[in-house]
């Protein structure tokens, strides 16, 4: 089964900029406002608990190449208890980039990290 993107957001943490965002028009649920809310809440959770900034990170620019080699990922399943409903939220942190994906509940959980990694690598040459 092919995962269905509801929203994709790629951030450059050092530049504090959004590099890439996609919101396919074919998805009716959730609404664009709800999608933004879900991703903002997930971003706040991810940056506070899973990928907090390291003290003195700005001084470690020379170590960025080493950090860029080890992607870190996390995901969250949100929505109702009913199978096939809700949303999958995925975050992949690689060097200065943070990729956030909002996917349909039909997306298999076991493939989320691979999907996020392939998506980030596919977008990187476009930046």
Please give the pLDDT value at position 92. Answer: 92
Please give the pLDDT value at position 90. Answer: 93
Domains and CATH numbers, the chain: 5-51+66-126 (3.30.450.30)
What residues in the chain have per-residue pLDDT under 70? 1-5, 24-29, 54-71, 80-84, 127
Taking the C-alpha atoms of residue 32 and residue 43, their distance in angstroms, rounded to an integer, is 16
Taking the C-alpha atoms of residue 106 and residue 1, their distance in angstroms, rounded to an integer, is 8
Radius of gyration of the chain (CA): 15
- Residue 6: count of CB within 10 angstroms of its CB: 26
13: left (phi over 0), alpha (psi -120 to 50) or beta: alpha
Please give the pLDDT value at position 33. Answer: 83
Please give the pLDDT value at position 27. Answer: 58
3-state secondary structure at position 6: strand
């Amino acid at each position: 089964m092919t995962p269905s993107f509801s929203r994709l957001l790629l951030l450059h943490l050092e530049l504090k900029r959004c590099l890439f965002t996609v919101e396919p028009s074919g998805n009716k649920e959730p609404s664009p406002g709800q999608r933004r809310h879900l991703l903002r809440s997930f971003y706040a959770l991810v940056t506070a608990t899973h990928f907090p900034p390291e003290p003195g990170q700005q001084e470690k620019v020379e170590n960025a190449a080493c950090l860029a080699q080890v992607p870190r990922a996390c995901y969250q399943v949100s929505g109702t208890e009913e199978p096939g409903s809700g949303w999958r939220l995925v975050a992949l942190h690689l060097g200065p980039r943070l990729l956030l994906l909002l996917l349909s509940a039909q997306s298999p959980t076991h493939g989320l990290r691979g999907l996020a990694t392939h998506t980030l690598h596919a977008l990187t040459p476009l930046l």
